Structure 1
Amino acid sequence: MYKKTKREPQKVATAATGNLQAGMTLEMKVARKTEIGYFLRAGDDEVFLHEKEAHERLHLDDEVEVFLYHDHENRLAATMDMPYVGMGEYGWLEVVDISPRMGVFLDNGIKKDLLLFVDDLPKLSDEWPRPRDQILVTLKQDKLGRLLAKPVTENEVTKIAAMAGAEMLNKQVEGTVYKVIAAGAFLLTEDEHILFIHRDEMVGRLRLGQTVTSRISYVREDGRLNGSMKERKEVQYGEDADKLLRYLINRDGAMPYTDSTEPDIIREKFQMSKSSFKRALGKLMKERRVEQVDGWTKIVRHEED
């Protein structure tokens, strides 16, 4: 998976005023002590470090490296815990909680979880991530300067992705969904290849942050991959054909569905795509086990039956 680069602390000039913002990592000096923590100073700016956010007892004029964020009362505060993902970085963060109204909360290595806002999530709740899923994100600020998670952009994925070679064909790979669209889902594999799985090649709906195993069905010229979570076609043909045959037997050998039936009806009745239905039906017809007559598919009755 994508590895973050080492982050260097941001230095604040001693003459700076009013420049402290959430998301900064910087060195600050202990200016004052209180009963519950410390006021840290950089130039003319001060920020509070609660004793629970300090890794050790501090003294006046000690210099410490801190990360700035807004606490639960929306005050700019400091912590000596370092985030897994900082400003300008991308990394995989684990989902720890879900709010249907607000979005999902991610563990970024500090005591306050990071919100991935509902507007940045798929519209269908079935495609939302679940606890323990991993989301590839960076940091951004809202209008009030508070930190939010921002999903990876396609441009960023393209920068970090590796080119896949022809040897990947038919291999089984593990990948995590970073983007869901109407036609399917984009994943980033363990070896950082971009993998697309069309909805017709899924086994159930995929969700953002879900990690799945799939077979590489096609290696594109641009080094991207197409995948399938289903069995190879020669195996799937047989399974789908058996499914149709069992359905026909349970209906006394006839059904009002043919290769002209609408795709939505096929998917509803048989949980397979129109193309899979036609392939399975074609297999049965080639074997002279079924025939199509007047808009019906019927089992062929042989003399010995």
Structure 2
Amino acid sequence: MNHTIDIGTVNTLRVERETDPGLFLKAANDDEVLLPNQYVTHTMHIGDLLDVFVYTDSEDRPVASTERPYAMRGEFGFFEVLDITSFGAFVNWGLPKDLFVPRTKQKTPFKIGEKRLLHVDLDEQTHRLIGVEKIQNYLSPAPKTLQPNDVVSALVFAVTPLGYKVIVNHTYEGLIYKNEVFEPIKTGDLKSAFIKLRRHDGKLDISLQRIGTSSGEDAEQIRRLLHEHHGKMPYNYKSNANDISRIFHLSKKRFKRALTALQEAGDIEIKESGIYTKE
């Protein structure tokens, strides 16, 4: 249970009382917030602990919701621009009240319908949640405690000649190299990934595959796909690398290595027309 009500995050609060507008939820310090009727269900009772997201309504009053935004305070996300005013813009972040992005927090003027990478922050003066496009202030050098193959989240925010720039765990900047991508990926995607290397500048090299993946794991992936395709697929050692990447999410080198392992184990037969599961 939360000691205080924390705007912009998920709070665990106790159902205190029922009123016409909805349920009032209380934190340990006795602060209260309304959970409007639209979020109340018949399974909620006085004394229950509920996990709710707290933000401010159109009159800047704290309000609770059982729904979750696309990104919470301290997180990054891609948001569609819905409306523009002389003092800022409003974007869709998944809640009934749109997220406001002040003009002073925008890099370039927004346009309705486009998507922008934003950091969700709490404005210290107004105590409202806002979106901020100037993201560098929110990125930190990665600590040396991070290790290769640590599992992380990677939000793709830009494409460069080298690869895909990502925000790692909503805190660090990283890069996924293009020649190491064997699955569809685009700006705005949130991927589960692995740390490959921490560079001297505190940025991270990121991989979508576990580092040091064995041929056995790749072979199992091919075996599973063969099973899904009734024991035959029109691919072999001579297949195009792009086709292998698209279908198997493997480099051609790893694909060939896994095929050899499966053939030597007597699990598959490799022909000019493709690969076949042995009965």
Q: Larger Rg: 1 or 2?
A: 1
